[in-house]
Amino acid sequence: MLWNDDVLFIHVPKTGGMATTKYLLDILEPPFIISVPEGHAEERPGLTIIDGKRHERLDEAAMLLARHGRTLASFKIILAGIRNPYDLEISRFGYLQKGHPWDRGKAQDLAMAGDFETFVREAAFHGKAYPALEEYYEIAGRIPENLRLIRQEYIDGDMKSALAEVGIRLTKKLPVTNVSQHGTREEYLTPVAERAIYERFHWFFDRGYYERIVPARARDGFLKRLFRSYRRNG
């Protein structure tokens, strides 16, 4: 979580937040305040580092801001990243397979076992079986009027449009860092895995931010059943 006088950035897990934080520190006017766990930010002029979670939900952000005399409504704009849930879970699976010692736990164990279906059914997302990522975008069941969603898939265009609303023009593209290497959706998405991801992240699909897909394996099975039915019925 990062803010200056005009802009608040909510760092949603696995949505390109590390790169976005660095970018905003370069293009926005200081002074800044950043909330991160101890030792997770480098000192720089104009930056105040406070002990926090980095990934504060919107209600947590409101409480933290209140201690600094701010409210969510006091910002000209709030930025929050959003990402296709299929890609998010595939990326998380690939990242945890790197086996970093600071990620030890059941989620890492499930990723290291290599079964994606089991992983998306059982691996907690930042401590939650059902992550409720809408809590990063909603407070008291509503999205604040000054909050803008920044889609990772269109991060440059969305960031440019959002900041233009408050008179900030971007002159350079947002760099992409901290990328986990993984395969295509088709390599991972079985019908079971797709259903598990939908159940976890239904808020994104139900609100129309992303469309559900029919996994190739399910689609192929449907076409085979349709062909057999066609042959039986002449």
Dump pLDDT digits (tens) for 70-83.
999 999 999 999 99
CATH of the domain at 76: 3.40.50.300
Residue among 41, 65, 102, 224 at smallest CA distance from 24: 41
Question: What is the number of domains present in the chain?
Answer: 1
Is the residue at 226 inside a domain?
A: no
Question: Average pLDDT in the 33-41 region?
Answer: 90
29: containing domain: 2-221
Give CA angle at 149 (193, 214), nearest 5°.
Answer: 25
Is the residue at 131 inside a domain?
A: yes
Is the residue at 228 inside a domain?
A: no
Is the residue at 81 inside a domain?
A: yes
Tell me the two tokens of residue 168: 């900030």
SS3 77: strand
DSSP state string for 139-159: BTTB--TTEEEEEGGGHHHHH
Is the residue at 143 inside a domain?
A: yes
Is the residue at 234 inside a domain?
A: no
Torsion angle defined by CA atoms of residues 134, 192, 14 and 161, in that order, rounded to the nearest 10 degrees: -60
Question: Average pLDDT in the 148-172 region?
Answer: 92
Is the residue at 233 inside a domain?
A: no
Dump pLDDT digits (tens) for 188-198.
999 999 999 99
Is the residue at 97 inside a domain?
A: yes
Question: Average pLDDT in the 122-132 region?
Answer: 80
